[in-house]
Amino acid sequence: MDRYSKGIAHLFVIIILALAVVGGIGYYAYKNGQISFISKNQTVTPPSPRTSEVTNWETYKSENYNFEFMYPDNLKIANRGPGPHESVVDSIDFTSMDNPQIFNLTIYSTRDTLSDFIKKNLNILFPPNMQKESSFETEHISVEKYLYKESSPNLPISFIYFFSNQANIFAFQVSNANDEKVNIADQILSTFRFLDTTASGNSDLSSFTNSVYKFSIRYPSSWTVYTPNTVDGSCKTDAENKNLVIFSKTKLTNCGFVGEQLTPQDADVTVRVHETEWEDPYNILGTPDSLINIAGETAAKYIFDENSELPNVKATRIYFNRKNKGYLIFLKQKDLLGNYDAIYDQIISTLEFYD
C-alpha cells in the first residue's frame, strides 16, 4: 500500500471515531433532556386542576350557553355581548386593575365543524399566520391549541385555544403569552365544563296543566306563564285553559299575537293549539329541517333563518297534529342559525297529553 492510500485509511478511521463521539454525546444529551424534538400538531399531556391553586378561585356560570369555569379571584369578568361579527353571540374579557384584557373567551354560533370554521375565518376572525401547535383533552373538553405571532417582532407569541359543543364554538385567547399566563390559561380550561341541563331531572320544574286541551308541561319554577289579552295584547297569567300559552324567564308586558307572528318580546317557549289539524305539518313551511318526537307524535321542526319569509322574531317552529287539532311550538332563537337555550328541549320533552 503506498503512502497516499495509507493516509486515506487513517483519515477514514479518524472520521468514524469523531462521528461515534459526537453521536454518543448527542444521545446522552437527548436522554437527559438537554435536546428535545418538537413536532407539529403534537398531542400533549392535558392540564389538570391543581387543588391548591384553584381553591380560592371564583366560578363563572353561563345559563344562556350552559357552561361554567373557575378563574383567579384577582381577575374580573366583563361580558361584552354579541358582535361585531355576526357569528359572535357573546364575548367575555378577563381583566385586572393594570390590564384591561388578560384573556378573552369568544363564543361563535355556526353550523361548521371546528376545522372548517377556522379555515373559513383566517384573516377574518383569526390571524392569517395562525398555526396549530397541539391538541389535548381535559376531563370535560377536547382542545385545539393554535399559536400566532403578533405584528410587532418585539412582542411574544399569542395562543388561541379552540373547543366546541353541538351548538357553539369557543375561542379562548391568550395575547402576548408568557409562562405565567399560559399556566393560568391551562388551569382555567381544566375547570371548564358544559352543564347537563337534564342532570338534575325535573326537580326544579313546576307543572302547568291545561284542562281544556288536556295537556301538561313542566317549566323552570322561576319563570312566568302568560297568555295574551285578546283585546289589547297585554299579558295575563290566567293561562290554564287558553289555546295560547307563553313561558318566559323574563317579565313580559306585551303578549300580543297576530296570526302566527310573535311580538318582539322575550317569550322563551310558546305553545299554541289550533282548533283544526294543519293541512300538512310536514310541508307547511317547505321541507322541515328535521323531524322530532313530541309526546309520541312526529313533529316537523323549522328553524328561522335569513331566508325565512314569515314576519317573525327569531324562533324555531315545531308543527304536529293530534286528535283533530294542530299544535305549534315556538322556541326563541339566539341567532339565525337555529341555536336556542338547551333548556327549551328539556321543557318540550315534558309535554304530555292525558285525554
Q: pTM for this one?
A: 0.50
- Residue-by-residue pLDDT tens, the chain, 355 positions: 554 444 445 545 455 555 554 454 444 433 333 322 333 445 455 555 454 467 789 999 887 788 999 999 999 998 888 878 878 888 999 988 777 778 999 999 887 888 889 999 988 899 888 999 999 999 899 999 999 876 666 667 899 999 998 778 999 999 888 899 999 999 999 999 988 654 444 447 788 998 899 999 989 888 999 998 878 888 888 888 899 999 998 888 888 765 555 554 578 999 999 999 999 999 998 899 888 888 888 999 998 887 776 655 678 999 999 999 999 999 988 888 888 888 898 899 889 998 7
> What's the pLDDT score for residue 19?
52
> What's the pLDDT score for residue 263?
55
> What's the pLDDT score for residue 8?
47
CATH of domain 205-353: 3.40.1000.10
**Distance between CA atoms of residues 186 and 212, nearest Å:** 55
> What's the pLDDT score for residue 261?
54
> What's the pLDDT score for residue 141?
93
Tell me if 57-194 shares its fold with 205-353.
yes
> What's the pLDDT score for residue 192?
96
> What's the pLDDT score for residue 10?
52
Which cell numbers hold the place of 110? 355556526
57-194, CATH topology level: Protein Transport Mog1p; Chain A (3.40.1000)
Q: Residue ranges of the domains in the chain? A: 57-194, 205-353
**Distance between CA atoms of residues 219 and 259, nearest Å:** 25
> What's the pLDDT score for residue 18?
53
